[in-house]
Structure formats: structure tokens, C-alpha cells
Structure 1
Amino acid sequence: MAEGGGPPVFMVDTYGARAPPVPKRERAQRSCGVAQVLLFILVTLALCGLVVEAFFIYSLHQSKYVSIIDSQKTHLIHQTIFIQNEKKKKSTHSFAFWVCVPGGPEAHQDQHVMGWNVNGEPLLHEIDYENKRLVIQKEGYYFIYSKVFFTDSDTFYHSVQKHTVRYAEHSISLLLSRNYSPPSNKYYRQNSFLGGVFYLEKHDALFVNVTNTQKVVVYQAMENVFGAFML
């Protein structure tokens, strides 16, 4: 008991009933700093991914562009080679062109096989002329043609024959025409033209056969022609 008879004095802890202290701001700042770092890392990774993706897209586009250019170059090279080969083929094609000159030495030597001018300027390339025949030196497809101008009062035969080593005894008729003239007109004149495409082998010989070479009119050179050219 206290002095003076007063009531007893108790010590009361006034701090015990108070709320817990508020956390310090340093912890909140630390947590915000960690979140910001994580967010920065994620954004950086996303940007890096975009950069890598853009690089791959650019590389793919460049590879496609290069492949297109390469294909165009290859096509151009092939086209150039094809054109050069076609030019070579055209330059190496065989051809022959003969005319029957009026009064020529071979005009009427044979009754049936026509002779052609050998003293003029015939066009020949890889085709020889031997014994009134065109001798093929390069196998392939040829366009063969012949035209004769004749006078007859009966039937006149005009043909292009082929002689080959496979059939040495006989010739083969490639082109043939029959022309009928009025028997009343002795000087009836007309033309006969033959032309066609045939496959010829090396050493095949071509010649023109008629009913009678004496009935062939040779007033002008271009009235009677014979030739072939390779396709």
C-alpha cells in the first residue's frame, strides 16, 4: 500500500494495446524494383525474339530472291544455248538447187533421166551431184521439189526417184505426176510441179525421171528446176 493511505498504484503498459507497426517502405521499394527488373528482362527477351524473327524472315526472303535470280539466269543461259544450237543447225542444213540451162550439155543426153547444169553456179551444201543425181551426205528430213515445163500431145510422166544402197537393183518413186494433153494439139505446153518431205539417209541418190527428155522445154533456165533442202 502506498504511503498516505491512498489506493495502490499499478503500472499500465499503454503500448501493449496498440496496432503493429507499419512495414518500412524499403521492403516495398525492393519488391517493386525486382518486378521492374523482371519486366525489363521479359521485354528485352521479347525484343530479341522479334529481332531474331525479323532476321530469319529477311534471310528467307533473300534466299528466295537469290533462287529466283538464279532460276532466271539458268533459264536465260538455256535459252541462249538453244538459240545458238538452232543457229548452228540452220547454218549446217544441207541444200541443193539446180536448173536446166537451155541447150545445156546434159539437157537431153538420156531419154528419161533429166540432166542439170554443172557449168553454172548451182547452190550446193553437203549434197553432191553425180551422174545426174543429188547424193545426200547427211541424213535427215528433206523437202524435195522438181518442176518441169514440157510439151506433149499424149500422157507425160514426171517423177522424183530415189536410189538407195538397200535396193541397189531398183529405184523408188518418191513423187509422181501424170499429165494428159489433148491429142489434137501437138504443141500443148504445161507445167508439172512435185514436192514433198522425206527422210533420207547418207548416200541416197535423187534424180528426176520423165517420159521423154526431148519433150522438156528449156527456153529459160528457171522453167525447169530440181532441188532439196534439209528441214
Structure 2
Amino acid sequence: MAPGKISYPSVFVVDSPMRPPPLPPKPGFRQRQKGIQTLLVILVIVALCGLTVEACFIYRLYSTKEQPTPPSESHTAMRKQEKDVALSKHQQLGEMKPSKPMAQLTTGNSTVNGVVLWNEHHESILHQVKLKPAEGKLVIEKEGYYSVYSKINFKEDKITCTHSVLRTTDRYGADILLLQSSRFHLKLQKQRVVVDNSFHGSVDNSFLGGMFHLYKGDAVFVKVQNCTLVLSNAAENYFGVFMV
């Protein structure tokens, strides 16, 4: 090269390939990071609070067990618990009701035109069945199949004594005979007893029972002919129905 001139290299020098500058972070990225961090902090605080409460309960439980109960307080607590249990059983028995309609009447001691009238007292049961005391009838309030039964204890007035159960319904114009039992006493001298110190006669009993479909509003009643009721108590004379 000639003196006084700038020398240039014979080979061009080129810089190596460079990566493009990184893009700036999106605006919401940092906000999401802060939200996640805040949520984690809250969860950690809640977990620590739960552990603290659990530790307090455990400490209180063991502290209560370590303190002995005075004998007087223990005895009083036991008596109170026994009284509560007895009261609960009594209430359950008193509040117990039949699951289905049913009725049972006892101590039938009089008749009107042969229809037995029944006395309602503490041994009687009436549940979803209505009683007409003046007519001696049980009125059905819910349709279904019912078992109808009756037992009477009587003294004979004549040779034939008839015990029957009848049904009254709006579907028919007359009473319907459901059950009947007739007793024939050919030998009036075979069994003699004194009843009310005024009548000598034979004492017998009759039981009737059967299953019938009864509608709402139907009524059933007991009727006797040529016989007089005796021994009027719950074990000797009763009449009832129950849904099956």
C-alpha cells in the first residue's frame, strides 16, 4: 500500500448471529404471581389456625379427664340420668299410637232393642274409628280390610240365644248380617247359677270373628237376642275392629 493511506483488511469481518432481544413480560403475569402467593399465604394461615384450635381442644379434653368428679356430684348425675331415661321411656309409652285404624270396646252391660251398648273408659282403644255410644256402633273413617270380632258372656233367657255382628252402610237400605252364632240350650237344668240373686239360669259365652272390606262411613255393631249379658268386664265382653 502506498504510504499515508489507511489499510483495510483483505477479508471482511462479520459479527456472529445474535438472538433477538427478549420480549417484555405480559402485563398480567406479575399480577397472577402475586395473587397465587397471596392465596398460599392465606391457606398457610388457615392451616395454622386449625392446628391451634385442635391443640386447644385436646388440651381441654385431657385437663377435664385429669380432674376427678366429686362423689356427691357423680351420684347426683347418675340419679338424674336414670330419671331422664325413665321419663323418656314413660313418654314414649304414653305417646305410642297404633300404626293403623283400630278400636276395642269393653264392658258392654246393657242393650237397646237387642243392640249392645258399650262403655268407653281407660281400657278402650279408639284410633281413626269413631264411636256412637247411644247406638253402640263403630264408624269406619278409612276404607280397607278390617278384622271384626266380638265376645259376650250371657245367661240364657230362652232355649235359643243368638249373638250377631251387623253392618250398616249407605250402599244398602238395610243392615247386613256379617257374623252370627246361635246357641241351643235343650237342657236348662244342666248348669244352674245365681245371677243378681234373682235369676237362676245357665251361663255361657260366644265369640265371633271375621275379615271384611269396609268403606268409609260404614258402621258395625253387636246384637243379641234371647240372652242377657252378665259378668260385665273387659275379659268377658268386648267388641273391636282393626285394619289389616
Q: Which residue of 2 aligns with 1:19?
A: none
**Change in CA separation of 1:212 and 1:115 when aligned onto 2, cut-off 3 Å:** farther
Segments of structure 2 that go 5 or more residues without pairing to the other structure are 1-96, 190-199
1:59-98 to 2 correspondences below 5 Å: 92-98=99-105
SS at match of 1:228: strand
**DSSP 3-state at the match of 1:150:** strand
State the match for 1:116 in structure 2: 118
Partner of 1:193: 207
Measure the CA separation in 2 of the matches of 1:109 and 1:211. Answer: 10
CA contact (8 A) 2:188 2:202 kept: no
What per-residue deviation string (whole Å, max 9, x for no partner) do you get for residues 57-81 of structure 1? xxxxxxxxxxxxxxxxxxxxxxxxx
Q: Aligned to 2:171, what secondary structure does the other structure show? A: helix
TM-score, normalisation: structure 1:
0.54
- The secondary structure found in structure 2 opposite 1:166 is coil
**CA RMSD, 1 decimal:** 1.9
2:178 counterpart of 1:164: no
Among candidates 176, 194, 203, match of residue 217 of structure 2: 203
- Asked whether the 8 Å contact 2:107–2:232 carries over to 1, the reply is no
Higher helix proportion (structure 1 or 2): 1
- Residue in structure 1 matched with residue 128 of structure 2 by the alignment: 126
Say if 2:167 and 2:175, in contact at 8 Å, map to a contact too: yes
Q: Which runs of 4+ in 1 moved over 4 A?
A: none
Change (3 A) 1:109 1:91: closer
Partner of 1:139: 143
Which amino acid in structure 2 is aligned with residue 125 of structure 1? Answer: H
Query: C-alpha distance in 1, partners of 2:180/2:150?
Result: 10
Q: Which amino acid in structure 1 is aligned with residue 120 of structure 2?
A: V
- How far apart are 1:221 and its partner, in Å? 3.0
Return the offset for 1:225.
0.5
Output aligned runs, 1:9-88, within 5 Å: none
The separation in 2 between residues aligned to 1:183 and 1:224, in whole angstroms, is 25
Larger radius of gyration: 1
Specify which structure has the higher proportion of strand: 2
